[in-house]
């Protein structure tokens, strides 16, 4: 067993972890840090998922880091390209050497006496254990359970004589050429799998309990390509980001304020795409836009597969699996050689780590989140948690910037401990992801930290507001306690009237 001390310890080498490390290098030079990564490669989600067609469901000009332009005109990038982008970012910012692969974090305990975190990790292939201490801990694990997704127990599943394939554990050499495939689900994974597999399969059926709002999006942005020809790379990137952020915010806000009108808009777009080749009931959700995430359809490929007859959609419930497929509650039977349960995710905070403070368990469901970056009562700890209504990385970037600001502020004032304190009983009923009504979020209510009812405890999923709060508002705001003493509320740092807006749209 070895023991090493760091100023900052980052858990996870995915998009958030690599981004946090890059911000540390840029904004806190000289800090000694390490990244603990359970897998043998960086990339997180983009290293794990290997199913056909895996791609982003956010545009890459807002999903890319604010400090490193996503080049080219590709809007929805494939998984391999995103992983390469993350790897190139790590290499260019010289953070690759700080990654400790094969380090599955098992425990994290804060010691008030020693004023540091004590973290143990295990190499799952060798059983070797290592211990680290760190002045500051940052969780960058996302919210997926990487070991398994959510899969209901289907009656008669053991009777099915074909292959049942989990998207999260896709077999490397699965041959589905000429096969009949049923994909169970209607989320982003199913929307991606169906048209991709339909290119080789005999037929692909998407079996859903209820429809999802869909939006076609071109895979290439011709306007951006034109801008890149006449403007410097960074300028073209910032202009495209500003445009895409504005459009995403507009769609989300209008959906919340005028759901009936936006519902009509989304459904009319789909109707035009289908041109009468499918029943609109399969595309008409029974909830309002953005009660659940909107799914993008790359180049309208799902609609093209349906019109070509290589794919179809069934809206029904499963009665049972049979030897040759699935029997529906309507009495219809779907023949299948391969069944793919794309039935959603299992949420897991901090990669399953159960943190403790002075030996006492931190029960996240009883805690309120501070600025959506720190957890009430957890000293010297950050949690990078991206947006659910726009690109994850927009929040990951500004959350990392805030933690760097906090660390630098502590250094300037010789503070050793910073902890958010909720003295106003702000704990609300909604989780940190409470703006969405999706099944995977409802299933995880007992694992997610809460958001508050007001102030810095409320997570509003609003990028422009968060830019103002995380980039410009004073660190000592009356809610953070430093070295056991409550900070006084201070006026925000002077930013000018337009600076936060300009910073949000065009970068810091």
**Mean pLDDT within 169-189:** 95
pLDDT digits (tens, 9 = 90+) for 297-306: 999 999 999 9
* Helix H or strand E segment including 137: strand 129-139
pLDDT more than 90, % of the chain: 76
With beta carbons less than 8 A apart as the criterion, state whether 118 and 137 touch. no
pLDDT digits (tens, 9 = 90+) for 257-315: 999 999 999 999 999 999 999 999 999 999 999 888 889 999 999 999 999 999 999 99
pLDDT category at 492 given cuts 50, 70, 90 is very low
* 453-456: Cβ within 8 A, 24+ apart: 453/426, 453/427, 453/428, 454/426, 455/424, 455/426, 455/479, 456/370, 456/371, 456/420
Please check the confidence at residue 441 and state whether its pLDDT lies above 80.
no
Lowest mean pLDDT among 185-189, 247-251, 459-463: 459-463
Task: Give me the domains of the chain, ranges plus CATH numbers.
Answer: 2-146+346-506 (3.50.50.60), 157-341 (3.50.50.60)
The rounded distance, in Å, linking the Cα atoms of 186 and 304 is: 17
Residues listed for the chain: 508
Lowest mean pLDDT among 143-157, 165-179, 251-265, 485-499: 485-499
| 0.95 exceeded by pTM | no
């Amino acid at each position: 067993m070895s023991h090493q001390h760091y100023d900052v310890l980052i858990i996870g080498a995915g998009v958030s972890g690599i981004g946090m490390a890059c911000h540390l290098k840029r904004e806190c030079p000289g800090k000694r840090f390490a990244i603990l990564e359970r897998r043998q490669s960086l990339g997180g989600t983009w290293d794990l998922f290997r199913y056909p067609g895996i791609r982003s469901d956010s545009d890459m000009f807002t999903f890319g880091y604010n400090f490193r332009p996503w080049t080219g005109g590709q809007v929805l990038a494939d998984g391999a390209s995103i992983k390469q982008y993350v790897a190139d970012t790590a290499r260019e910012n010289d953070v690759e050497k700080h990654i400790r692969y094969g380090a599955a974090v098992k425990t994290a305990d804060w010691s008030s006496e020693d004023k540091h975190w004590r973290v143990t990790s295990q190499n799952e292939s060798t059983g070797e254990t290592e211990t680290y201490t760190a002045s500051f801990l940052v969780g960058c694990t996302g919210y997926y359970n990487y070991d398994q997704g959510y899969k209901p127990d289907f009656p008669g599943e053991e009777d099915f004589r074909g292959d049942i394939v989990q998207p999260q554990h896709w077999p490397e050499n699965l041959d589905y050429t000429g096969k009949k495939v049923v994909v169970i689900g209607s989320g982003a994974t199913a929307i991606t799998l169906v048209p991709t597999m339909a290119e080789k399969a005999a037929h692909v059926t998407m079996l859903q309990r209820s429809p999802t709002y869909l939006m076609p999006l071109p895979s290439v942005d011709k306007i951006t390509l034109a801008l890149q020809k006449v403007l410097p790379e960074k300028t073209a990137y910032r202009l495209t980001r500003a445009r895409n952020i504005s459009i995403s915010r507009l769609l989300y806000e209008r959906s919340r304020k005028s759901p009936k009108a936006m519902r009509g808009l989304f459904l009319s777009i789909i109707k035009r795409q289908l041109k009468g080749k499918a029943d609109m009931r399969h595309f008409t959700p029974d909830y309002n836009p953005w009660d659940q995430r909107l799914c993008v359809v790359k180049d309208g490929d799902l609609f093209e597969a349906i019109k070509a007859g290589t794919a179809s959609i069934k809206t029904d419930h499963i009665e049972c699996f049979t030897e040759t497929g699935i029997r529906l509650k309507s009495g219809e039977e779907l023949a299948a050689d391969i069944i793919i349960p794309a039935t959603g995710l299992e949420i897991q905070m901090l990669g399953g780590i159960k943190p403790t403070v002075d030996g006492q368990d931190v029960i996240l469901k009883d805690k309120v989140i501070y600025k959506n970056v720190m957890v009430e009562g957890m000293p010297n700890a950050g949690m990078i948690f991206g947006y659910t209504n726009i690109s994850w990385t927009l929040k990951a970037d500004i959350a990392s910037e805030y933690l760097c600001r906090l660390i630098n502020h502590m250094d300037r004032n010789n503070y050793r401990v910073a902890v958010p304190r909720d003295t106003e009983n702000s704990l609300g009923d909604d989780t940190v992801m409470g703006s969405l009504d999706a099944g995977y979020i409802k299933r995880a209510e007992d694992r997610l930290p809460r958001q508050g009812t007001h102030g810095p405890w409320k997570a509003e999923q609003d990028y422009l507001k968060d830019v103002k709060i995380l980039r410009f508002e004073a660190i000592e705001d009356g809610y953070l306690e430093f070295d056991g003493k409550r900070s006084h509320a201070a006026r925000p740092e002077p930013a000018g009237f337009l600076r936060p807006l300009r910073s949000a749209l065009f970068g810091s």
